[in-house]
A and B are shown apart, each in its own frame.
Chain A
Amino acid sequence: MPEPLLEVKDLTVHFETEDGLVQAVDGISYSVERGKTLGIVGESGSGKSVSSMTVMGLTRAGNARISGSITFDGRDLLSASDADMRTVRGGDIAMIFQDPLSSLHPFYKIGDQLIEAHRSHNAVSKAKARDRAVEMLGLVGLPDPRRRIDSYPHEFSGGMRQRVMIAMALINDPKLLIADEPTTALDVTVQAQILDLIQKLQTELDTAVVMITHDLGVVAEVTEEIAVMYAGRIVEYGKSDTIFAAPEHPYTWGLLKSIPRLDTPRDQELVPIFGRPPSLINKPSGCSFHPRCPYVREAHKKVDPALEPTGGADPSHKVACLLPAETRRSLWAGLRTGDTPDEVLQEVEIPANKLSPSAEGQTGEEVAGQ
């Protein structure tokens, strides 16, 4: 197997605040191969942005406590000096953000902002950098780039601004592009255009992409692999197809049921996930999803599930849920045909305190003793 471009291992990012320790990212591992796309999906506050900002070295200052390892292109980024990280940021790794209006400086022409991005990583003349900026603006589909380069951000529509952000991010030929909810602030039709553009450029320029979103629908067609995050952890990981066809985590089921899809029966209602995301200061005991999970058993409130291979057809497929694999599959089988959680619970019997095999090994006595 080739060495991945980005490898994150056991990354933990905690923030010390007056209210207590915010466990924003709590031991996540993932990797991205060259030219490939990983989707990171999860509700607001699940730690998606914090983990990516940490890859960029942008959470370093202040109250953050970071551990684990981040290896990019053979280099350890967590121990890299601030000066080294500056050359990585905007050079090898670029990032675009949710709101393209507030992400561009309102007082500078877009051309100047692109030129600055190029010249801070390349010793080239202003004229050369300007040519490069025009080229990039053309590449992202900005009409008449030679003239529009001297416009200010507020003179563009939201979609065009995001194109400008993409041009700026790609101006130094990064190996990795982190797109943090790049379409959330845009109209639905524009969303699709921006996703298409990212995908097109990624193939043309052979850039790897980490696509962050809270909307599984967004990543469906764009990504090869998906990591589902909940409360600072990855709770399910696998190939995109697997996540859509054979998801095994109740939270992923909830996400899938809450988006409109083509392959679900028409009359099926969209069901939002019940409850609210947990506090990251006092996380729920055991499985952090248990207060919101329809399938919770007593033992799940005590035992913290690890992310483990499902043993299914996709060898990369992993899940962090204490239900036995067969039970998970029967539950999903019911859910995918349109049953509500209550309905499937009537059909599928959940073994009272039987845990998935590995968890049982770790905590067998405790559970049996109840």
Chain B
Amino acid sequence: MAAYIVRRLLWTVLLLLVITAVTFLIFYVLPSGDPAKLRAGRSPSPETLAAIRNQLGLDKPLYQQYGEYVWNIVRHFDFGNSYTNNQEVRTLVFSRLPNTIFLVLGAATIWFLSGVVIGTVSAVARGSFWDRLLMGGALVAISAPVYWMGLVSLYLFSDDIGKFKLLPGSGAYQSAHGLIDKGHALILPWLVLAAAFAAIYARLLRSNLLETLSEDYIRTARAKGLSERRVVLRHGLRSAITPIVTVLGLDIGILMGGAILTETVFNIDGVGRLAFDAIQRGDLATIQGTTVVLAFGVAIMSLVVDILYAFLDPRVRY
């Protein structure tokens, strides 16, 4: 197990190196992304360009540039400065990350729990009215665009512009203070972000559980005289939920790179909005920073998931 973790960590490092290399190549080497041109304003003279190149170290050989770039990331998590608002990208990312984490973890809790409950009810009552209602609702939640759902929920429930003034609306998170207030302000964004995921998880769990319930060991559990409740929850769900934990880990990892739409609609200063703004302004250093955070999120969560899986499924040995 320890050897496996070490091996996985080495792989993760390698993966991150590849990702930084790719982002580096895309942003520094492709002509459209020449940072010197971007900084120099309209139709710069060749001398100005050369001066900027020199200042940014762009006249050095490529491998040296990349080496310095990686070294700065490794040593200080330093992506350089954001050209547009002249702040360190590192500071920007770290100030936004907690907001994204709060948003994502809250939503993940909601979608995981509701997905499991809905999926279980649907599987146990398969073919019934409730099954059809829940799965129909899930299909709607999956098909509805997050952006649209966010706006509709604001229009219906936010306490400023909403029809039913129930919950804090867009921008409330930024002005809230303290964990409780912030959490309260996040209820609507949590629900909007969680909706589609909950629906996907519910469908996934339903089909997993149905498959599990036809397994031989479920027949054994029934033959032992266990209550149906125990058969479903302790024997069925235990197996059906395991693959979903994997999916959950990866989804959380991906969302560490920002829940762009939700953050935008609800005006939450998260990594997603940072990335979104950076893309709109062509702010390369910031785009790189957020991309690497995303890669980090995915790489680390997939490691966590793999380790967790070995605990959940005793047959898995590394």
Which residues does A use to contact B, with CB under 8 Å?
56, 58, 86-91, 94-95, 97, 99, 102-108, 116-117, 120-121, 152, 154, 165, 168
Among B217, B219, B221, B238: residue with most chain A CB under 10 A: B217
A120 touches B216 (CB 8 A): no
Set B216, B222, B224, B315: member contacting A168, Cβ < 8 A: B224
The chain A residue sitting closest to B312, CB to CB, is: A107
- Chain A residues with Cβ below 8 Å from B224 are 89-90, 116-117, 120, 168
Among B215, B225, B312: residue with most chain A CB under 10 A: B225
A103 touches B314 (CB 8 A): no
- Chain B residues with Cβ below 8 Å from A152 are 314-315
Set B220, B227, B230, B239: member contacting A104, Cβ < 8 A: B220
Chain B's interface size range is: 20 to 34
Q: Give bound CA distance, A117 to B226, whole Å.
A: 8
**A152-B314, A154-B315 known; A103+B225 contact, CB < 8 A:** no
Q: Give bound CA distance, A107 to B223, whole Å.
A: 18
A102 touches B315 (CB 8 A): no
Q: List 10 A-B contacts (CB under 8 A).
A: A58-B219, A89-B224, A90-B223, A94-B223, A95-B223, A103-B219, A104-B217, A106-B313, A107-B314, A108-B238
B235 touches A105 (CB 8 A): yes
- Chain A residues with Cβ below 8 Å from B312 are 107
Set A87, A95, A116, A154: member contacting B314, Cβ < 8 A: A154
- Chain A residues with Cβ below 8 Å from B222 are 58, 89
Q: Give bound CA distance, A89 to B226, whole Å.
A: 8
Among A97, A102, A107, A165: residue with most chain B CB under 10 A: A107
Near A by CB (< 8 A), chain B positions 206-241 give 215-217, 219-227, 230, 235, 238-239
Q: Give bound CA distance, A104 to B314, whole Å.
A: 13
- Chain A residues with Cβ below 8 Å from B227 are 86
Q: Give bound CA distance, A104 to B227, whole Å.
A: 17
Q: A90-B223, A103-B217 are in contact. List 17 more A-B contacts (CB 8 A).
A: A87-B225, A88-B225, A89-B224, A89-B225, A90-B225, A94-B223, A95-B223, A97-B216, A105-B239, A106-B217, A106-B315, A107-B238, A107-B239, A107-B242, A107-B314, A120-B226, A168-B224
- Chain B residues with Cβ below 8 Å from A102 are 215-217
The chain A residue sitting closest to B218, CB to CB, is: A105
- Chain A residues with Cβ below 8 Å from B225 are 86-91, 120-121
**A152-B315, A154-B315 known; A105+B223 contact, CB < 8 A:** no
A105 touches B315 (CB 8 A): no
- Chain B residues with Cβ below 8 Å from A88 are 225
**A87-B225, A90-B224, A106-B239 known; A99+B216 contact, CB < 8 A:** yes
Q: Give bound CA distance, A108 to B239, whole Å.
A: 10
Q: Give bound CA distance, A105 to B227, whole Å.
A: 16
- Chain A residues with Cβ below 8 Å from B226 are 86, 90, 116, 120
Q: Give bound CA distance, A58 to B226, whole Å.
A: 12
Q: Give bound CA distance, A94 to B222, whole Å.
A: 11
Q: Give bound CA distance, A108 to B242, whole Å.
A: 13
- Chain A residues with Cβ below 8 Å from B217 are 102-106
B231 to chain A, nearest CB (A): 10
- Chain B residues with Cβ below 8 Å from A58 are 219, 222-223
Q: Mark B232-262, 1 if CB is under 8 A from A, else 0.
A: 0001001100100000000000000000000
- Chain A residues with Cβ below 8 Å from B313 are 106-107
Give 5 nearest A-B pairs by CB, closest first.
Answer: A90-B225, A89-B225, A102-B216, A90-B224, A105-B217
A106 touches B314 (CB 8 A): yes
Q: Give bound CA distance, A200 to B123, whole Å.
A: 42
B127 to chain A, nearest CB (A): 10
- Chain A residues with Cβ below 8 Å from B215 are 102
Q: Give bound CA distance, A87 to B227, whole Å.
A: 10
- Chain B residues with Cβ below 8 Å from A103 are 216-217, 219-220
Q: Mark B169-202, 1 if CB is under 8 A from A, else 0.
A: 0000000000000000000000000000000000
Q: Give bound CA distance, A56 to B222, whole Å.
A: 9
Q: Give bound CA distance, A34 to B303, whole Å.
A: 57
Q: Give bound CA distance, A292 to B242, whole Å.
A: 48
Q: Mark B292-308, 1 if CB is under 8 A from A, else 0.
A: 00000000000000000
A53 to chain B, nearest CB (A): 8
A89 to chain B, nearest CB (A): 4
A177 to chain B, nearest CB (A): 11
- Chain A residues with Cβ below 8 Å from B221 are 105
Among B242, B313, B315: residue with most chain A CB under 10 A: B315
A89 touches B216 (CB 8 A): no
A168 to chain B, nearest CB (A): 7
Q: Give bound CA distance, A265 to B231, whole Å.
A: 52
Q: Give bound CA distance, A95 to B230, whole Å.
A: 19
- Chain B residues with Cβ below 8 Å from A56 are 223
The chain A residue sitting closest to B220, CB to CB, is: A103
B224 to chain A, nearest CB (A): 4
